[in-house]
Amino acid sequence: MRILTLLLSRLVLAVACLSLVAPLQGAVVQGVRSYRAPEYTRLVFDLDGPLTYELSQQLDPATLVITLEGSSFGGSFDNLSLAETPISSISSSREPGGDLHVTLTLRAQVEPRGFTLGKNEQYGDRFVLDLYDLAGMTKAPETADPVSAITSSLDDAGRRDIVVAISAGHGGDDPGAIGQGKLQEKNVTLALSRELARLIEAMPGYQAVLIRDGDYYVGLRQRTELGHKANADLYLAIHADAADNHEARGATVYALSERGATSEQARMLADKENNADLIGGIGTVSLGDKDAVLRSVLLDLSMTASVATSLEIGSALVQSLDKVTRLRRRNVEQAAFVELKSADIPSLLIEAGYITNAADAENLDSPQWRRRFAESLADGVATWFGKRPPRGTLIAWQQKHTTEGRTSVTSYVVQRGDALSVLAQRFDVSMDEIRRANGLKRDAIQVGQTLKIPASLILREHKIERGETLSQIAFEYEVTLDAIRAVNQLKSDTIRPGQILKIPTS
């Protein structure tokens, strides 16, 4: 009985304490923004303080009511873009001295998920509502699912493309750095990423996947998950830098560091980029996210090899970029970037320049400069994978089966009046060989463009005599075994009497 009395007294005390806690006051909704992503529509409510909310969904008619407790509406819905979204109309009403109700009339069924975000250096308090598409909702064409493009990257012989995942930094509610003339990093990175994807797609044996292809935000962990789903061989995060010192300029290539950053600048940049989720808007961690965290910890055990490969590819990109733009650092910098933390995908973050520098900002806003920058990145990617192509890829197969009669290339700068057919005749090669050597899908060439021209070889024939070996024949003609294997497409060194071999000689 004494125990029961004691428990009741404690319960009464707890209730009394709760009654003394002041209820959370409502907020004023100052404005509303909308974004369309591949799988959901996002509404962002800007608030003058924190609040509590409640969601109520009805199926017939399809409506969703957002109740913002004790709040009022001081914004407008007039500027919302509802095209390609499941929302047909939006309105608000308020109980006298009570709650604010925002009603969404829906044209398709959705799964709503709401969460609040506290104030940060970019925004004040926010309420975020994500409406995830269910069956019957057509995705917005300008924001296609980045993984749906990977239906099959295999050719008829089962040889796959090298897949490069390209992640445009920031997006949606996260503009990134703001530069000269209010130039936003999220727009620059998207334009540059699209240009790079276009160039990589034009390279035979390569496939590009855009992690973000519209003005919406993709969480840091989700970016690497999309890279995994696309079976990427390389992950490139495209960004633009910013600094209080407006004289700072130039591009920098970053890789992950498992320990400390290689410089204070690299550490500060990683800290800034790793906080992007707070600005772009990511809800509280779900059970699925906890599984992702556990996977991340386990994958860390095999991170070393991926970082080493990233540094090698990064060095190739630095050398290529040095030909077309100013570099802030001539080595690959390292820091603890969350976006680069993928154990089995070599990953790099490219800062294309300083958006806060007048000269760099002018470049970043120039389609012509972005094309040259993207071309140098694509060249760097092709250079590295050309030396170390992943097994099972078309590029690896081509290396083992060199085009018959060609073993070397020379460079040629296109002059006024040149055409692909003219160059083929001049250098005694076929147009197909020039196309393959340069990854050309069209015959159009531009003045000043550098082309790789396969060098001609004379092929002699040799009839194998009894007792001869492939190494003896190579020694006799002073050529390498690899050259004979490539020209004759030999899978082994076994030869037979009477067999005719083609022997390359210069």
Residue span of the structural domain in which 471 resides: 458-505
Q: What is the mean pLDDT of the chain?
A: 78
Whole-number pLDDT of residue 191: 95
In whole angstroms, give the CA distance from residue 127 to residue 125: 7
Residues 347 and 374 placed together within one structural domain of the fold: yes
DSSP letter for 441, please.
S
List, for residues 286-312, the tens digit of each pLDDT value. Answer: 334 434 554 454 445 445 557 888 888
Whole-number pLDDT of residue 122: 76
Residues 230 and 358 placed together within one structural domain of the fold: yes
List, for residues 92-149, the tens digit of each pLDDT value. Answer: 998 887 899 999 999 988 999 998 888 877 788 899 999 998 865 544 444 345 444 4
In whole angstroms, give the CA distance from residue 499 to residue 446: 45
List, for residues 31-49, the tens digit of each pLDDT value. Answer: 998 888 888 899 999 999 9
Regarding predicted confidence, which is higher, 284 or 20?
284
Residue 458 CB-density burial (10 A; 0-12 exposed, 13-18 middle, 19+ buried): exposed
- Is 69 within a domain? yes
- The pair of structure tokens assigned to 229 is 């789903």
Residues 294 and 150 placed together within one structural domain of the fold: yes
Number of domains in the chain: 4
- Is 4 within a domain? no
Regarding predicted confidence, which is higher, 23 or 493?
493
Domain of residue 57, CATH code: 2.60.40.3500
Residues 334 and 381 placed together within one structural domain of the fold: yes
343-365 residues labelled b (16+ CB within 10 A) or e (exposed): bebbbbbbbbbbbbbeebbebbb
Whole-number pLDDT of residue 371: 93
318 confidence band (pLDDT: 50, 70, 90): very high
Residues 173 and 246 placed together within one structural domain of the fold: yes
Residues 354 and 382 placed together within one structural domain of the fold: yes
How many CB atoms sit inside 10 A of residue 295's CB?
A: 14
Residues 61 and 160 placed together within one structural domain of the fold: no
- Is 138 within a domain? no
Range of weakest confidence among 17-26, 223-232, 235-244, 424-433: 17-26
Whole-number pLDDT of residue 304: 58
In whole angstroms, give the CA distance from residue 150 to residue 144: 12
- Is 318 within a domain? yes
